[in-house]
Structure 1
Amino acid sequence: MIPVKDLLFFALAAFGLVISPGPNMIYLISRSITQGRKAGLISLIGVICGFLFHIVMVSAGLTAVLFAVPVAYSILKTLGVFYLLYLAIQAVKPGSKGIFEMRSDLKEDRSVKLFSMGFFTNVLNPKVAVFYLSFFPQFIKPEYGSVLLQSLQLGLTQISVSFTVNAIIVLSAARTAVWFAQNPAWIKIQKWFMAGILAGLALKMAFSKSK
């Protein structure tokens, strides 16, 4: 089993991922604002099932190749650092959008379509795959036991963080969007806060010890 302190750091990285604007966030907020909380929650269930798909695929791949190729860890670590820095820059670059500056002109859809769109939006989201491939190896060690079980443990941790944060966002999307519209200065604060978390995670990862 992975130590609690490592899981907490991984959970913070997962939090950085979930608060960075991307296809999942855009879809969930747009649905919640346009079609209501129920539609947002159904879409979120689809997104979570998409995470399960990524976890199974990545866990199987890491089990097969991670420790067979020693240099893979260093490569993936470097990719993880640059990926976090990329997200941080994207958050504060000129013209970037805050997570509640989303379009709200989507037509209403049935529950099955909401679920399937949430699922495929996540399955086809490269940000999720890159996160798993670049972050999982940093927390998986042979001495902790099965690589597959460790991958699943990390995956379930990430899903828990993602579900909790996204559920809060879905339930408060409409009200929060109005608040940000009335207080635009806070959008810039939100962007820099998010960028600070991502950049801090990148630096910690860059100076962490290799296995």
Structure 2
Amino acid sequence: MLGIHDFPLFLLSCIALNLTPGPDTLYILGRSIGQGRAQGLASALGICSGCVVHTFAAALGLSGLLAASASAFLLVKLIGAAYLIYLGLSMLLSRGAGRFSAAPVSGDRHWLAAYRQGVLTNVLNPKVALFFLAFLPQFIAVDSAHKPAAFVLLGLSFVATGTVWSLCLAWFAAPIGAWLRRSERLAARLDRALGAVFVALGLRLALSR
């Protein structure tokens, strides 16, 4: 269908890749433990929505610009890294039991903010775009007349498996944070630890090639 081959193998590969710990896993775990279940779930959905953006970008050939242009890749990478470092520093510099850790953050505005931040951290990571360009074509026939549609179908399948895993991570990690937040001192330390994780993720992205 659409020139896609070895689809069962593709799904198994997706599951294996999603289970492998990476920056997205750390981001979701950090949000869930540091800010509560609602924020963790919103962040997970944001990360997965960012993958949807990369899927359509790959299908339309936009991701190819990042692969072909070192300048474009560097620009997007530095913007994404700066955004992660900004989020981390805002937590590290918060006083006392910071605005992120004293209790689970609730409310539609905070939920939407967590979702938006998840989307941006994923969309502004050019390595994700290059991953889609390198991984998906392996399961599409070279002579397929429907490559854009095949890209979209495979990309959305990858996102579907990733969404299930990400939501499970957020759901089951949240109780750990709830237990830690019983102590204001631990809550403050958790705030700083979460900020340090985000700064480390930003630096890792900035230094990547």
Give TM-score, length-normalised by structure 2: 0.54
Query: How far apart are residue 63 of structure 1 and its match?
Result: 3.6
- Give, as a single letter, the amino acid of the residue that structure 1 aligns with 2:110: T
Identical positions, percent: 9
Within the candidate set 171, 182, 188, 2:179 is matched to: 171
Unaligned runs of 5+ in 2: 1-9, 141-153
1:200 aligns with 2:194: no
Q: How large is the RMSD of aligned CA atoms in angstroms?
A: 4.5
Partner in structure 2 of residue 67 of structure 1: 59
- Give, as a single letter, the amino acid of the residue that structure 2 aligns with 1:195: V
Partner in structure 2 of residue 110 of structure 1: none
Query: How far apart are residue 139 of structure 1 and its match?
Result: 3.3
- Label 1:58 to 1:76 Cα distance change in 2 as closer, same or farther (>3 A): farther
Query: Secondary structure of 1:67's match?
Result: helix
What does the per-residue CA deviation read over 1:51-80, in whole Å, with 9 as the maximum and x for residues that have no partner?
44773x555544433232221566578535
- Give, as a single letter, the amino acid of the residue that structure 2 aligns with 1:178: R
Within the candidate set 113, 131, 135, 2:121 is matched to: 131
Within the candidate set 149, 158, 168, 2:166 is matched to: 158
1:87 aligns with 2:77: no
Question: Distance in 2 between the 1:83 and 1:198 partners?
Answer: 7
What does the per-residue CA deviation read over 1:36-60, in whole Å, with 9 as the maximum and x for residues that have no partner?
xxxx6xxx257526744773x5555
Question: Distance in 1 between the 2:96 and 2:41 partners?
Answer: 19
Question: Distance in 2 between the 1:58 and 1:190 partners?
Answer: 21
- Label 1:19 to 1:144 Cα distance change in 2 as closer, same or farther (>3 A): same
Question: Distance in 1 between the 2:186 and 2:129 partners?
Answer: 40
Give 1:37-56 correspondences, 5 Å limit: 44-45=37-38, 48=41, 51-52=44-45, 55=48
Unaligned runs of 5+ in 1: 29-39, 107-113
Give TM-score, length-normalised by structure 1: 0.54
Query: How far apart are residue 199 of structure 1 and its match?
Result: 1.5
Contact 2:24–2:47 under 8 Å retained in 1: no
Contact 1:88–1:198 under 8 Å retained in 2: yes
- Label 1:139 to 1:154 Cα distance change in 2 as closer, same or farther (>3 A): farther
User: Displaced runs of 4+ in structure 1, greater than 6 A?
Assistant: 103-106, 186-190
- Label 1:190 to 1:148 Cα distance change in 2 as closer, same or farther (>3 A): closer
Question: Distance in 2 between the 1:82 and 1:165 partners?
Answer: 29
